[in-house]
């Protein structure tokens, strides 16, 4: 199953665009920092992740203030059919 959940801050957001089929899309950058346990040791995590929201979810992302912390749910997939780069596709946002 490809289900990804991340608590992160919205740090950048591109302008709204539309797919060739007319579906609204917003690309953004999320930042996460925290601590996890790995092999019995604490590990500090600080990362940035490219993400995108398509359809109705993009409205919530478009209205979010930059720097706002939220819980994002979705899946990881290639950015497009021609790209091998992974992007977090957001399907749900909980403020």
pLDDT 10s digits, 56-84: 999 999 999 999 999 999 999 998 889 89
pLDDT level of residue 28 (50, 70, 90 thresholds): very high
Rg (Cα) of the chain, in Å, rounded?
14
CA distance 25 to 47: 23
Angle at 84 between CA 78 and CA 86, to 5 degrees: 45
CA distance 93 to 95: 6
Domains of the chain, earliest start first: 4-94 (2.40.50.140)
Rounded alpha-carbon distances, angstroms, from residue 5 to 21, 59, 71, 73 = 28, 19, 7, 4
């Amino acid at each position: 199953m490809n289900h990804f959940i991340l608590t992160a801050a919205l740090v950048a957001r591109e302008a709204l665009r539309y797919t060739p089929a007319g579906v609204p899309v917003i690309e953004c950058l999320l930042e996460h920092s925290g601590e996890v346990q790995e092999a019995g040791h604490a590990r500090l995590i600080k990362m940035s992740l490219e993400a995108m929201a398509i359809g109705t979810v993009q409205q919530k992302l478009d209205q979010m203030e930059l720097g706002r912390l939220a819980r994002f749910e979705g899946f990881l997939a290639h950015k497009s059919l021609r790209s091998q780069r992974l992007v977090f596709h957001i399907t749900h946002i909980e403020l």
